[in-house]
Amino acid sequence: MKNGTIEVERMGQLLSPTRRVLQVRARQLGIQPLNSNGNPYNTRQLGNQIIKVLLDG
Protein backbone atom coordinates (compact mmCIF):
# COMPACT_ATOMS: atom_id res chain seq x y z
CA MET A 1 0.00 0.00 0.00
CA LYS A 2 2.97 2.31 -0.41
CA ASN A 3 1.35 3.94 -3.43
CA GLY A 4 -2.04 4.38 -1.73
CA THR A 5 -3.67 1.42 -3.46
CA ILE A 6 -6.28 -0.32 -1.31
CA GLU A 7 -6.17 -4.11 -1.29
CA VAL A 8 -8.18 -6.52 0.83
CA GLU A 9 -6.82 -9.84 2.04
CA ARG A 10 -8.56 -12.60 3.95
CA MET A 11 -6.46 -15.45 5.33
CA GLY A 12 -3.61 -14.50 2.99
CA GLN A 13 -5.77 -14.44 -0.13
CA LEU A 14 -6.24 -11.23 -2.09
CA LEU A 15 -9.97 -10.55 -2.51
CA SER A 16 -11.26 -9.17 -5.76
CA PRO A 17 -13.04 -7.07 -6.81
CA THR A 18 -11.80 -4.88 -3.98
CA ARG A 19 -14.51 -2.26 -4.36
CA ARG A 20 -17.33 -4.74 -3.81
CA VAL A 21 -15.63 -6.15 -0.70
CA LEU A 22 -15.17 -2.62 0.66
CA GLN A 23 -18.80 -1.72 -0.03
CA VAL A 24 -20.00 -4.71 2.00
CA ARG A 25 -17.64 -3.90 4.89
CA ALA A 26 -18.63 -0.22 4.82
CA ARG A 27 -22.30 -1.19 5.17
CA GLN A 28 -21.43 -3.43 8.12
CA LEU A 29 -19.62 -0.51 9.79
CA GLY A 30 -22.41 1.98 9.06
CA ILE A 31 -20.29 4.08 6.68
CA GLN A 32 -22.27 6.12 4.19
CA PRO A 33 -21.28 5.31 0.58
CA LEU A 34 -21.46 8.95 -0.55
CA ASN A 35 -19.04 11.80 0.05
CA SER A 36 -20.06 15.32 1.13
CA ASN A 37 -20.83 16.23 -2.49
CA GLY A 38 -23.27 13.33 -2.82
CA ASN A 39 -20.97 11.31 -5.07
CA PRO A 40 -19.98 7.71 -4.37
CA TYR A 41 -16.58 7.23 -2.77
CA ASN A 42 -14.01 5.71 -5.10
CA THR A 43 -12.18 2.58 -3.96
CA ARG A 44 -9.32 4.45 -2.31
CA GLN A 45 -11.61 6.91 -0.52
CA LEU A 46 -13.90 4.14 0.70
CA GLY A 47 -10.93 2.12 1.93
CA ASN A 48 -9.61 5.15 3.78
CA GLN A 49 -12.99 5.71 5.45
CA ILE A 50 -13.05 2.08 6.61
CA ILE A 51 -9.49 2.27 7.93
CA LYS A 52 -10.33 5.48 9.80
CA VAL A 53 -13.37 3.88 11.50
CA LEU A 54 -11.41 0.76 12.43
CA LEU A 55 -8.51 2.74 13.90
CA ASP A 56 -10.81 5.10 15.82
CA GLY A 57 -13.12 2.32 16.93
Domain membership of residue 43 (yes or no) is: yes
Q: What is the pLDDT of residue 2?
A: 63
Question: For the chain, what is the domain count?
Answer: 1
Domain membership of residue 3 (yes or no) is: no
Closest CA to 49 of 19, 12, 17: 19
Summarised one tens digit per residue, pLDDT across range 10-51 is: 999 999 999 999 999 999 999 999 999 999 999 999 999 999
- C-alpha to C-alpha distance for 53 and 10, rounded to whole angstroms: 19
Q: What is the pLDDT of residue 57?
A: 74
Burial of 52: CB neighbours in 10 Å, binned 0-12, 13-18, 19+: exposed
- C-alpha to C-alpha distance for 52 and 44, rounded to whole angstroms: 12
Domain membership of residue 23 (yes or no) is: yes
| Chain CA centroid to CA 25, Å | 7
Domain membership of residue 34 (yes or no) is: yes
Domain membership of residue 25 (yes or no) is: yes
Which 3 state secondary structure label does DSSP give 26?
helix
Domain membership of residue 21 (yes or no) is: yes
Domain membership of residue 51 (yes or no) is: yes
User: Containing domain of residue 18, as a range?
Assistant: 8-56
